[in-house]
Structure 1
Amino acid sequence: MALPDSETIVLHPGVLGAPVGCPVRWYRSARARRVSLRIDARAGEVVVTLPMRTARRAGMALLTTHAAWVMQRLTALSPAVELAPGAEVLIGGRPHVIRHDPDARGGAFIDGATIIVSGRPEFLARRVKDFLRAEAKRRIATLVEGHAAALGVTVRALRLKDTQSRWGSCAPDGTLAFSWRLVMAPGWVLDYVVAHEVAHLRELNHSPRFWAHVETLTSHREAAQDWLRDNGPTLLRVG
């Protein structure tokens, strides 16, 4: 039952749709109880998850049945943004252009609407990503401190991750985790996500009491949720 890690499979998305090559990544999981599909926005491919003893043909059958949905979702993804000179990256919801200046000092830093990156060109992408992560942690830490003080709660630790399906999380031990990609979202969107997770330090659920705490911390709940639904996949396409 060996599976290829990834491959391109020709799908027929419908009567009027021409056959299209679809990038597919196969994944076998001991926890899976059924075949499932999901779109990996970062990689621009569909991931097919199979239970351990399920044959590849079951995944192919599901892909064929949902070919139109799969191709619609993949086609709707924004183009991938490579961290390279001239590329445009959002910071706080505002576009910033990457400029390489090998003679500059300081790694990577903001100058107006430009991200200036020093050093050798082969290190540029890493330096930009390191800068974005550091900026995300700085902004998130400031918001966490303010919201935690407002609710009278204690944060055990703050971590940054690069998740695909969750922008933030709160562990039972009081550790908060956030996607570093939130640094690209407008400040009021970031504020909502931080308020959401800090509120979980009082209510580790989504009860009315939890949402009441969120409302005391931020007024951007619905707008931020809408923004992340509409624009979140674009953030995953950066880097």
Structure 2
Amino acid sequence: TRPSFHCVTACSSVPTTGSDRVPVLRINGEEIEYRVLKTRQNRNIRLTVSGRNGVRISAPRYVPERELHAMVSEKAEWILDRVREFEKLEDEQPRWQYRDGASVLLQGKWTPLRVETWQKNSGRIHLAEDRIVIQVPEHMRKRDDVLRDLFERWIRRWAAQELPRRMDYHASLMQLRHRRVSVRDQRSKWGSCSAAGNISLNMRLMLVPPETANYIIIHELAHLRELNHSPRFWHIVEQYCPDRRAHQRWLRDHGWLLEMGGPG
């Protein structure tokens, strides 16, 4: 059976493995690299354009690479349009910087940072009204790496408290029972649900709008009933999140920002 071919514009990424290749697609004089990922799990051919990971094509192992290149070439104009969209978004958005007066993304909003010095040897971070206040010793005040580490650890602690609480709330509404909930620092997924009912959530959900984070939670809970992305699955999601397409668009358009260090 010939695998079907899907084109996707997404913020999600596929973990890099040793099977990645980096061929080049030439479009109107421009060269665009794309990666090929072949795994046993792939049943269909999937072309993904994302802000963080560029152009990727995943396929079953038996599909010849020349056939994949031909398929990518057929979609050349679509690929170029998507790449330019992400470049435009990147140019328009503020950059992640860890210094006094800069802004970072928090719950979907660019939130100013205030860096203060204090007499203690360690750092502290907290929310104060509409800004994030970081207090560090004088010699750390301009250390971007120190400020970034403080921010990431703060996000991780907050996520570990907040996301399981929200998960329990939505599980109750949906009359579903999950097993273990873990919060992780992930670069490739917003969340996942195992066949055993264990759910993992990305700590970076604290950076997206709360309603969008709730969509991811509902999405993973729906997998407790349907461990797939069938029409039945999406019907469950839309029962509890009617605006799920708007949240998917937000993640698609802004997901590349969630590296906490700005675009690479």
TM-score normalised per structure 2: 0.65
Q: In the alignment, is residue 227 of structure 1 matched against residue 246 of structure 2?
A: yes
RMSD over aligned Cα atoms: 3.8
Q: 2:77 aligns with which of 44, 49, 68?
A: 68
CA distance in 1, matches of 2:258, 2:62: 36
Which residue of structure 2 aligns with residue 15 of structure 1?
Answer: none
Q: CA deviation at 1:175?
A: 1.2
CA distance in 1, matches of 2:192, 2:148: 27
Contact 1:29–1:52 (8 Å) recurs in 2: yes
Percent identity reads 18
Q: Superposition pairs for residues 185-224 of structure 1, below 5 Å?
A: 185-198=208-221, 200-201=223-224, 203-204=225-226, 215=239, 218=240, 221-223=241-243
CA distance in 1, matches of 2:204, 2:124: 19
Q: CA deviation at 1:178?
A: 2.2
CA distance in 2, matches of 1:153, 1:69: 40
What is the number of residues matched between the two proteins? 224
Contact 2:37–2:56 (8 Å) recurs in 1: yes
Which residue of structure 2 aligns with residue 129 of structure 1?
Answer: 152
Which residue of structure 1 aligns with residue 202 of structure 2?
Answer: 179
Which residue of structure 1 aligns with residue 111 of structure 2?
Answer: 96
Q: CA deviation at 1:71?
A: 1.3
Amino acid aligned to 1:88: S
Amino acid aligned to 1:11: R
Q: CA deviation at 1:150?
A: 4.7
CA distance in 1, matches of 2:77, 2:44: 21
SS at match of 2:242: helix
Q: Deviations over 1:123-147 (max 9, x none)?
A: 3333323333332332212212323
CA distance in 2, matches of 1:235, 1:110: 23
CA distance in 1, matches of 2:104, 2:71: 36
Q: CA deviation at 1:198?
A: 3.6
Q: 1:42 to 1:138 in 2, by over 3 A?
A: farther
Amino acid aligned to 2:211: W
Which residue of structure 2 aligns with residue 110 of structure 1?
Answer: 127
Q: 1:24 to 1:115 in 2, by over 3 A?
A: farther
Q: Deviations over 1:51-88 (max 9, x none)?
A: 55666544433332211111111221231844533553
Contact 1:195–1:214 (8 Å) recurs in 2: no
Q: Deviations over 1:8-64 (max 9, x none)?
A: x3522xxxxx42232323434344567642223323x11134655666544433332
Contact 1:184–1:235 (8 Å) recurs in 2: no
CA distance in 1, matches of 2:250, 2:59: 29
Contact 1:34–1:51 (8 Å) recurs in 2: yes
CA distance in 2, matches of 1:212, 1:36: 24
CA distance in 2, matches of 1:238, 1:33: 29
TM-score normalised per structure 1: 0.70
Q: CA deviation at 1:148?
A: 3.4
Amino acid aligned to 1:135: W
Q: Superposition pairs for residues 8-47 of structure 1, below 5 Å?
A: 9=24, 11-12=26-27, 18-32=28-42, 36-43=46-53, 45-47=54-56
CA distance in 1, matches of 2:223, 2:198: 10
CA distance in 2, matches of 1:53, 1:192: 35
SS at match of 1:177: strand
Q: Which moved more, 1:103-112 or 1:61-70?
A: 103-112
Stretches of structure 2 lacking an aligned partner (at least 5 in a row): 1-17, 260-264
Amino acid aligned to 1:76: E
